[in-house]
Amino acid sequence: MGRVTATAVVSNIHDFYRHHLGEIAEGEVRKFEIAEALVDTGASNLSLPKSMIAALGLFPMKKRRVMTVAGVQDVAIFGAVDLRIDGRNCTCDVTEIPDECPVLIGQVPLQLMDFVVDPKRHRIIANPAHNGEWIMDLF
C-alpha cells in the first residue's frame, strides 16, 4: 500500500466550544495543522505526540493497555479533540505517543469521517460506496 498521509487540523474541543459560545476569540482556540499525518489503518485511534497533547491543553482521561511493536504497554488516553480533514470532521479521544513519532490517524476516525485508503494513489478518499457523499452507518 505504501505510505499514506493526510493534512489534518486538530483542535482542543473545549476551546472550540468556548469560541462558539463567544467566550474566547477564534485565534485563542488551541490547534495544530499537521501537513503529513500518517494514516495507519492498523491503528484504532488518533495518536498525538506528547508535546502536542501538552500544547493543546488536553486532560488525561484514563490509561489503556495497547499492543505496540514493542509489545503490550500502558498508555494515557486524552479527550477530546476535533479532527478535520478535507472538510469533514469528527470528535475523538487521543492516544499519547512519544514525541519522535508522527501523528497517526487510525481506523476509527477514518470511519467516522467516511474515508477509505486509495492504495494506488497513496491517499485517503471519500468512500466510493457512498458516491463521495459523507454518510455515516448507524447499523
State the CATH number of the domain containing residue 29: 2.40.70.10
Asked if pLDDT for residue 1 goes beyond 70, the answer is no
Asked if pLDDT for residue 51 goes beyond 90, the answer is yes
Average pLDDT over residues 100-122: 95
Give the pLDDT of residue 21. Answer: 97
pLDDT (tens digit per residue) in 3-46: 999 999 999 999 999 999 999 999 999 999 999 999 998 889 99
Give the domain range for residue 84.
Answer: 5-130
Query: How many structural domains comprise the chain?
Result: 1
Give the pLDDT of residue 66. Answer: 83
Within a domain: 14: yes
In sequence order, what are the residues at sequence separation of 6 or more whose Cβ sits closer than 8 angstroms to the Cβ of residue 133?
A: 126
Within a domain: 135: no
Within a domain: 82: yes
Phi, psi of 87 (to 5 degrees): 80, 5
Q: Per-residue confidence at 138, pLDDT binned at 50, 70, 90? A: confident
The three cell numbers of residue 64 are 489503556
Within a domain: 138: no
Helix (H) or strand (E) run with residue 65 in it:
strand 59-68
d(CA 91, CA 136): 14
In the chain, where does DSSP find H-type helix?
A: 13-20, 50-56, 107-112
pLDDT (tens digit per residue) in 52-110: 999 999 999 999 988 877 889 898 999 899 999 999 999 999 999 999 999 999 999 99
Within a domain: 41: yes
Within a domain: 12: yes
Within a domain: 123: yes
Phi, psi of 89 (to 5 degrees): -150, 165
Give the pLDDT of residue 109. Answer: 97
Within a domain: 139: no
